[in-house]
Chains A and B, each alone.
Chain A
Amino acid sequence: MNFDLGPYGMYIWPSYAISAAGLIGITLWTVIGWYKAKAALAKLEQK
């Protein structure tokens, strides 16, 4: 794999970093939301 991006690295690396942050962020938000909803429902069903 070639990671030498030359002078364009200043545009390419931020693109990948922002994309990774966005995709990881939306994945975490979705997964956390799922576990929260599951826990809330379980709590209500116990009552």
Chain B
Amino acid sequence: MIWLFRYANPHNFMRLSNVLLPITAVATALCLGVGLYLGFTAPPDYQQGRTVLIMFIHVPAVTVAELAYGAIVVCSLLSIVWRHPLSDIAGRAAAPLGAMFTVLGMITGALWGRPMWGTFWAWDPRLTSFLLLLFLYIGYMALWNAIEDEVRAARAAAMLALVGAVNIPIIKFSVEWWSSLHQGESIVSGKLAPVFLAPLLIMMLGYALLFASLWMLRIRTVILERRARTLMQRSAA
């Protein structure tokens, strides 16, 4: 825990992220390039045909959307319990990125659902709980923007994020708890053929690294914006 607090100091974070960012950016490009190559060279699935290609962009998007929300929950907890200086900034910085991955997950899911299920959308437990995730992101960002006092805004947004955390296991287990159109888990259970599993895992890593890179850059941006605001307030005083 101590290392977390050491690097969560804005000054230390700026130094660390300055070193990490080029590495994660190059790793992102490599993973996405290799993942796409392996995906487009994989044979058609015996049931889904070539639509299996959508899996290589849909599953990484939804996974990162959930991971990003998990990151916001952890930041919110750190913010509320330890009043951590960087946690509010980090939570706020992750929200628009997570929302974008959620939207991409929903669109690619709809475009996969049409040929497989015969419909773009159904009020299915998995789809509905994932839509709720998008609303949670929108609500979180709206709270940050609606309240002028940053301390109060951070507190309100963190509370919403913590309450919304209950939705993450619902998304994950909805296909087991209720009757669902959506297919069940197939990575950990080993149901996915290695020829599809390899590009999928590489694409998931690529999406996660892209999120990490953008998140670091967003946090750096918010730190600079805060410094600029402090300077403006000082010069006005």
Contacts and interface: CB of A to CB of B under 8 A. Distances in A.
Contacts of B104: 18-19, 22-23
Nearest to A47: B235
Interface of B: 37, 40-41, 49-51, 53-54, 57-58, 61, 96-97, 100, 103-104, 107-108, 111-112, 114-115, 210, 214, 217-218, 220-221, 224-225, 227-228, 231-232, 235
13 contacts: A2-B40, A5-B50, A8-B115, A11-B112, A11-B114, A11-B115, A15-B54, A19-B57, A22-B104, A23-B100, A23-B210, A30-B97, A41-B224
Contacts of B220: 34
Contacts of A5: 50, 53
B53 A26 contact: no
Interface of A: 1-6, 8-9, 11-12, 14-16, 18-19, 22-23, 25-27, 29-31, 33-34, 37-38, 40-41, 44-45, 47
Decide if the interface of chain B is mainly helix, strand, loop or mixed: helix
A44 B231 contact: yes
Decide if the interface of chain A is mainly helix, strand, loop or mixed: helix
Given A22-B103, A37-B225, A16 B231 contact: no
B41 A44 contact: no
A22 B30 CA distance: 19
A2 B36 CA distance: 11
Q: Select the residue from B111, B112, B217, B218 with max chain A CB neighbours within 10 A.
A: B111
A43 to B, nearest CB: 9
B145 to A, nearest CB: 15
B237 to A, nearest CB: 14
Contacts of B214: 26-27, 30
